[in-house]
Amino acid sequence: MKYMLNASAMNVPFFVPSSVVDKHIKLASNTQLKVLLVFLKNISSGISPKEISEFLRIDESEVCDALNFWVEREIILTKGEKAEEKPMDKEKPKPVRPTVIKPTREEISEASANDPKISFLIGEAEMKLARGLRDNEIRTLCWLYLDFGMDISLILMLVEYAVSEDKATVAFIESTALAWLEAGVTTLSDAEEQIEARSLRKTAWGVVLSAFGMDYRMPSDKELEFSGRWVVEWQFKKELLREAYNICVDKNAKLSMPYINKILEKWHKDGVKTVDDTKVASKPAAKKQGFGAYDKSLVEKLLNKDD
C-alpha cells in the first residue's frame, strides 16, 4: 500500500528541522518527539514546559528532560544562547531515514515462533511487573530486543529498575534504554554502574535542595547531572552551594541552575573550599603599579649617593 499526504490537512503547517529525522529520531523517545512537535508548533507564540505538560498530560519533569534532550543536540537553544554560525554544507543532503516503527503483535508472534527468547522476555517482564503486559509495553520491549539488539538480561534488569523507582512506564523504560544504548551499555555490570551513578545523583539532588532551602520535587536529567557534578564530583558542601544560590538569586532574581554551575565551576578551578575562599576568589586581580610604586629603601640610597 502506498501512502500520501492529505493536502486538506495542511491548514497550518510548521517547520521541523531535517536533522531531527536524519540524526536523532532513532534515539529519540516518543515523549521527546511529542514535546518537540508541540514546541515547534507553538514556537512563534511561545509555550512553557508547564503548558506542554498540561497539553500532553505528562509530568513537567518529563517535558524538561525532553527539552534538554533537544538542547543537547543543538535543535533547541536556551534563552540567551546564540547559535554557532557554521559554513553552509555544499554536499548533497543525506537521504531521510524512515521513522522507527515498533513491531506489531503479528510481527512479534512471527518472530517468537523462531526465537523462544521473546516469550521468555514477555513472561519474565510480567512476573517483575506482577501483571500482564499491555500491548504498547510488549511492543516496546520487543522493539529494544529486535531492533536494537539489546540483551534480554539487560531489558529485564531495566524493567526491574523501573519497578524499584516506581516508574514502570513505557516512557521511562524507553528513555532509560536509549540513554544506556547511547552510553554504550552492553553488560549487566555496565547497567549497574549507570544505576549506581543515577542513585548518587539523586542523593546529591537532595543535598542541593536542602542547601537551596527548597522542598523536594522530581529533578530533570539535567538537574541530576548538575547535582552529581557539584556534590559527588566536585564535593562542594552545603554552605558553598547555598552561597552560589544566593549569588545567583541576587544577580538574576530567580534560580538558574546553569548560572550556578558557572559559579561553582569557577570555584572548583580556583580551589575554593570555604565561603571565606569565595571572597578571595571574587577579588579582582591587582593592577600592575606604575610610577607611583617604588622601593623606599632604594630611593633613600639614591638620595644619599653622594654622602
143 confidence band (pLDDT: 50, 70, 90): very high
* Amino acid identity at 209: L
Angle between helices 238-252 and 188-212 (to 10 degrees): 60
Between 82 and 41, name the one with better pLDDT: 41
Tens of pLDDT along 236-271? 999 999 999 999 999 988 889 999 999 999 999 999
Q: Residue 20 gets which letter from DSSP?
A: I
pLDDT for position 304: 59
pLDDT for position 144: 95
* Amino acid identity at 123: G
Closest CA to 101 of 5, 170, 26, 176: 26
pLDDT for position 293: 45
pLDDT for position 299: 46
pLDDT of 187 above 70: yes
Domain topology for 105-184: Arc Repressor Mutant, subunit A (1.10.10)
pLDDT for position 1: 65
pLDDT of 27 above 80: no
Q: Which alpha helices (DSSP H) does 231-274 contain, by range?
A: 238-252, 257-270
Between 5 and 249, name the one with better pLDDT: 249
Tens of pLDDT along 109-138? 999 999 999 999 999 999 999 999 999 999
Answer whether 0.75 is exceeded by the pTM.
Answer: no
| Average pLDDT value for residue range 220-237 | 92
Tens of pLDDT along 271-292? 999 988 887 766 655 544 444 4
CA 90 to chain centre: 32
pLDDT for position 10: 62
| Average pLDDT value for residue range 178-186 | 91
| Average pLDDT value for residue range 159-167 | 92
Domain spans of the chain, in order of start? 13-72, 105-184, 194-281
Closest CA to 270 of 261, 280, 257, 260: 280
Q: Which residues of 150-189 are buried (b: 16+ CB within 10 A; e: fewer)?
A: bbbebbbbbbbbbeeeeebbbbbbbbbbbbbbeeebeeee
Within 10 angstroms of residue 222's Cβ, the number of other Cβ atoms is: 18
42 confidence band (pLDDT: 50, 70, 90): confident
pLDDT for position 221: 81
